[in-house]
Chain A
Amino acid sequence: MTKLTGTLRSIVGWLEVRTGLAETLTPAVTHPVPRRTASWWYVFGSATLALFALQIVTGICLALVYVPTADQAYQSLQYLNDQAAFGSYLRAIHFWGSNAMVLVMTLHMLQVFLWGAYKYPRELTWIAGVLLFLCTLGMAFTGQILRWDQDAYWGLGIGASIAGRAPVVGSTLVHVLLGGPIIAGRTLSRFFALHVFVIPGMLIALTGLHLWLVLRLGVNEWPMPGRVVDRETYRKRYEDEVQRDGVPFFPVAARKDMVGMAVVVLAALACAAIFGPNGPHGAPDPTITDASPRPDFYFLSLFALLALLPPWTETVILLVGMPLAIVLLLALPLFAGTGEKSWRRRPVSVVSVLLIVLVVTTLAALGVTSPWSPVMDAGTALATPVVYVQGRSPLELQGALVVQNKQCRNCHSLGGEGGARGPALDGVATRLTHDQLIRQVLQGGGNMPAYGKNLSPAEVNAVVAFLETLRPANQPPARAPVSPRPVPRQN
């Protein structure tokens, strides 16, 4: 045993004489950090790094089998799912790892923002971090494309359509993005190169810069209300604090980091084991028209936003708003680089974070149910509720048939089933009068297509007769407002 340790020691010594690695790295690893930063709140950065490592390892494994060509990518994914040893599990880890990476990186960013860590002298650390975040979202989008299923194909369609809205250079952008005039083999090759070479290279380089800056400038101290950042005095005060009351990063702060890293990786592994891989869903055959494309969760909020924005604002928000938001995020430390760090003294920051988190999660939640999308098979898959056909006259029953056959329920629900694009039809008779119903059916309006050309007068009569029966027994039908009696003019 002693002999073995002795041999090991001499090998390490031999290496150290030549590389000097321990001599160089030991001060970096054991550098003092402010005592309070050895906190659970400070583990998200290293946890993100651990997930990135997990993504690299599983990504390389997947690349051993995955075929990045449009005619075989789908089959190679099915092979990974069904036949390759651990293939399905590795795909699942890569998918859940990517979800976890986006999530934990977002938490890291929120923590850093609320703790004021982006302020002087750590501006560049923040900027590198924002670029890392954008690259990670780039990985998320390109990774979704490599799944090469219906969602990938139509996701590219959405991406290209957004690019196509750019004035002047729109067409050029679309062709550069797709690698050709249309989504096809060359598109997949482009996204493969981006996902496997270009963006990972950028991520590794930026991670190096980010870590180097953290080491050079020190871990951000725990912010205290009233301790204002001043460019003249900050660095000296920080050095003094660290010298006076610092703890070595390794092992004091690193203990919690190691736990955090292990927990997020274990969580990704557990999700992968429980929920399995994602897709591929449906072959990427654009002639299959019953596709209902949905993005992965990171882009659900954007997907929802594009359904809910007033159409005339879309292009501006996509082409001006989004880049402006990114520039603002990058430039944040340049215009807010000094002053209070503590979130207790930065109400605007706290409210902004709450607002952004609330908006993004609400939009993502809406994206899951997509209430704006018509239920495409409502006309054939849903039955008219029995209560709405009991005791109805032949004309009204004819109307119920028309409602069913003309796919009204793609957008309107009845008895809780059907689309949510338009208002539910239960109780419609309490809101609209006979004349208003006819007008709405014939002319549409308020986001409803006009059915005047598609319905015969008899069909319109029947539909309206049926709709007029749709009200609870204890509620009166809608009545047209009685025009006020003209006041006699007094001379």
Chain B
Amino acid sequence: MCANHDSLPSPRSRRGFLFTLGLALSATAATLAGIPVIGYIFGPVRGRAGQAWVKLGAVAGFPEGQTRLATYENPFRVPWDGPTAKIACWVRRISGDQFQVFAINCAHLGCPVRWFPQSRLFMCPCHGGAYYEDGSRASGPPPRGLFEYEYEIREGQLWVRGGQLPTLAGPV
């Protein structure tokens, strides 16, 4: 076999030019194909700030001094979300127009906390976190109190800004 065929051709020759062209074209093709792929995979990040006001129900439906479960539909739902389009939260009406709306997700690792009206505590079934009725941490592993929704009262209806899974990196 001739040595010329084995080794890389000199970049100045016609073969060398073709070789370099081949490499450059392949790299361009890979980049052009890669950009939309990466953009597609990381697409959901763009909606990071996405929160929307959603209606939880009439203020009258939440008796003063009580904490009740309320549910709303994810404002960013897609038609095939099924039951997971629903989101639950705990609404505490302190008095009058004073509310606290808590995410159902434990601040420790996101499990659903349950309200116990008799002992006035939220308890988590996963790792035993407990919170007082105002959402502050009572005991267990949670590093902070329950995540709280921003709320507004418009024409007798309670609205919250929701649609995000609350984690330590980003609130509801």
Chain A positions near chain B (C-beta within 8 angstroms): 69-72, 74, 153-154, 157-158, 160-166, 170-176, 178-187, 283-287, 289-293, 303, 306-307, 309, 311, 314-315, 372-374, 376, 379, 405-408, 410-411, 421, 444, 447-451, 453-454
A311 touches B80 (CB 8 A): no
Report the tally of A-B residue pairs with Cβ distances under 8 A. 208
What is the CB-to-nearest-CB distance from A480 to chain B, in angstroms, rounded to a whole number?
26
Distance between Cα atoms of A182 and B52 in the complex (Å): 13
| Chain B interface size range | 35 or more
- Closest A-chain residue to B126, C-beta based? A293
Q: Which of these, B48, B78, B130, contacts A172 with CB under 8 Å?
A: B48
- Chain B residues with Cβ below 8 Å from A183 are 84, 165
Residue picked from B71, B87, B140, most chain A C-beta under 10 Å: B140
- With contacts A158-B126, A285-B86, A289-B88 known, is A174 near B170, CB below 8 A? yes
Tell yes or no: B11 within 8 A of A by CB: no
A376 touches B168 (CB 8 A): no
Distance between Cα atoms of A329 and B38 in the complex (Å): 30
Distance between Cα atoms of A186 and B168 in the complex (Å): 22
A174 touches B114 (CB 8 A): no
Distance between Cα atoms of A287 and B68 in the complex (Å): 12
Distance between Cα atoms of A171 and B30 in the complex (Å): 29
- With contacts A182-B74, A449-B139 known, is A170 near B44, CB below 8 A? no
**Which 9 pairs between the two chains have the least Cβ-Cβ distance?**
A71-B82, A164-B167, A170-B169, A157-B110, A449-B138, A307-B127, A164-B169, A161-B110, A285-B83
User: B57-70 CB contact bits vs A (8 Å, 1 = yes)?
Assistant: 00000000000010
User: B81-117 CB contact bits vs A (8 Å, 1 = yes)?
Assistant: 1111111100000000000000011001111101010
Interchain Cβ contacts under 8 Å between A and B, 19 examples: A70-B81, A74-B83, A153-B84, A158-B109, A158-B110, A171-B167, A174-B169, A284-B83, A285-B83, A286-B83, A286-B112, A291-B125, A292-B126, A307-B141, A311-B108, A311-B143, A408-B119, A447-B140, A449-B132
Residue picked from A154, A175, A183, A372, most chain B C-beta under 10 Å: A175
- Closest B-chain residue to A164, C-beta based? B167
Q: Which of these, A74, A286, A311, A454, contacts B120 with CB under 8 Å?
A: A454
A406 touches B119 (CB 8 A): yes
What is the CB-to-nearest-CB distance from B117 to chain A, in angstroms, rounded to a whole number?
10
- Chain A residues with Cβ below 8 Å from B126 are 154, 158, 292-293, 303, 307, 373
Distance between Cα atoms of A71 and B167 in the complex (Å): 25
B164 touches A181 (CB 8 A): yes
B85 touches A158 (CB 8 A): no
